[in-house]
């Protein structure tokens, strides 16, 4: 990207690309599940799955199972599909981005404004450069663990650049829902009390709306949060129909929020290389 030019995240393109990747992986998951069910003469909800995904209509227990093992799934660089011991593909794992994204800045600034990692066994971590202290000649990074911390650094202008702000907002939501003890307790309580995906999404929307108030005129940040909410809603709708991953709904939704926030960061990092 040339210095000085505004960066606009193409919401429809990004969401479509993410959905295509997710749908391809889910299709393969279902095809393998139903194929094995048929192969071993187990009960398979074939009619329901055919209505949900029309391309399942031509499942063949022998040839389809073999071809699925050999086929390479379409995927973005961030979603590496691993194989299980039985050779069947797995859905993308949480924390698929395991290297640091550095230098996510606009213009010619070579200082790392945002550092994000999500390594196996360590979980996600987000640090942002305090621009106010940088003006005083001090290079200090602030850890973002909760939505409140993301709100503060955005609202108090401790970070600069619309793209950096947008990614801090989306990653801040992801970290809040996946790592903040308070949010985890709330989501677990919703599930324990018999709450459905709508109840989970109500809390997710509350957290996103809270972060919107940090900079209500920042168009790129608002659009990015809208994309994150839309992706979460898509996951919630799929989970409500059929829990593909056999997990509690709040975990499924939160994991996809983390992955989509990482996906947006990766796209922004590529544009600003």
Task: List the domains of the chain with CATH numbers.
Answer: 10-92 (no CATH), 95-271 (1.20.120.420)
Mean pLDDT (whole number) for 41-57: 41
* Alpha-carbon distances of 161 from 63, 139, 261, 273, rounded to whole Å: 52, 17, 18, 15
Q: Flag whether pLDDT at 37 surpasses 80.
A: no
Q: Rounded CA gap, 48 and 131, in Å? A: 54
Q: What percent of the chain has pLDDT over 90?
A: 40
pLDDT averaged over every residue in the chain: 70
pLDDT tens digits along 129-166: 999 999 999 999 999 999 999 999 999 999 999 999 99
* Alpha-carbon distances of 251 from 6, 93, 173, 262, rounded to whole Å: 35, 13, 14, 16
Q: Which of 93, 46, 85 is nearest to 69 (CA)?
A: 85
Better-predicted residue by pLDDT, 83 or 264 = 264
Q: Quote the Cα angle for 160-166-170, to 5°.
A: 135
Q: Rounded CA gap, 83 and 57, in Å? A: 25
* Alpha-carbon distances of 76 from 87, 177, 220, 264, rounded to whole Å: 21, 24, 23, 12
Q: Which of 32, 48, 46, 179 is nearest to 91 (CA)?
A: 32
Question: CB within 8 A of 41, min separation 6: which ones?
Answer: none
User: Do residues 154 and 169 touch, judged by C-beta distance below 8 A?
Assistant: yes
pLDDT tens digits along 92-127: 333 433 344 433 333 335 678 898 988 776 788 899
Check residue 92 and give its pLDDT.
37
User: Do residues 128 and 168 touch, judged by C-beta distance below 8 A?
Assistant: yes
> What ranges in the chain are assigned the alpha helix state H?
11-39, 46-52, 61-70, 131-134, 147-155, 162-179, 181-192, 197-212, 219-241, 249-271
Better-predicted residue by pLDDT, 234 or 193 = 234
Mean pLDDT (whole number) for 38-66: 40
Tell me the angle at which helices 197-212 and 249-271 cross, rounded to the nearest 10 degrees.
40
Specify which of 74-83, 205-214, 244-253 reaches the highest per-range mean pLDDT: 205-214
Mean pLDDT (whole number) for 167-184: 95
Can you read off the two tokens belonging to residue 11? 């919401």
Q: Which of 235, 238, 223 is nearest to 259 (CA)?
A: 235
Q: How confident is the model at residue 191 (pLDDT cuts 50, 70, 90)?
A: confident
What number of other Cβ atoms are within 10 A of residue 107's Cβ? 12
User: Do residues 162 and 218 touch, judged by C-beta distance below 8 A?
Assistant: yes
Mean pLDDT (whole number) for 77-98: 35
């Amino acid at each position: 990207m040339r210095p000085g030019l505004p960066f606009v995240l193409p919401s429809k393109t990004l969401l479509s690309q993410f959905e295509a990747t997710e749908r391809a992986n889910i299709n393969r998951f279902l095809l393998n599940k139903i194929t094995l069910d048929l192969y071993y003469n187990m009960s398979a909800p074939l009619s329901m799955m055919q209505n949900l995904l029309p391309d399942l209509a031509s499942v063949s227990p022998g040839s389809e199972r073999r071809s699925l093992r050999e086929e390479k799934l379409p995927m973005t660089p961030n979603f590496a599909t691993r194989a299980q011991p039985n050779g069947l593909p797995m859905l993308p794992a949480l924390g698929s981005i395991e290297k640091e994204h550095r230098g996510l800045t606009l213009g010619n600034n070579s200082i790392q404004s945002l550092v994000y990692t999500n390594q196996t066994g360590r979980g996600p971590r987000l640090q942002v450069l305090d621009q106010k202290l940088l003006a005083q000649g001090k290079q200090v990074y602030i850890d973002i663990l909760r939505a409140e911390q993301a709100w503060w650094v955005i609202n108090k202008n401790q970070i600069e650049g619309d793209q950096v702000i947008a990614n801090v907002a989306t990653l801040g939501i992801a970290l809040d829902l996946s790592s903040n003890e308070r949010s985890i307790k709330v989501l677990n309580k919703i599930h324990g009390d018999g709450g459905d995906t709508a109840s989970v999404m109500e809390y997710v929307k509350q957290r996103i709306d809270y972060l919107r108030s940090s900079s209500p005129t920042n168009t790129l940040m608002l659009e990015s949060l809208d994309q994150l909410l839309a992706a979460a809603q898509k996951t919630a709708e799929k989970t409500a129909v059929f829990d593909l991953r056999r997990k509690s709904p709040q975990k499924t939704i939160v994991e996809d929020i983390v992955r989509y926030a990482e996906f947006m960061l990766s796209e922004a990092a590529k544009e600003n290389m």
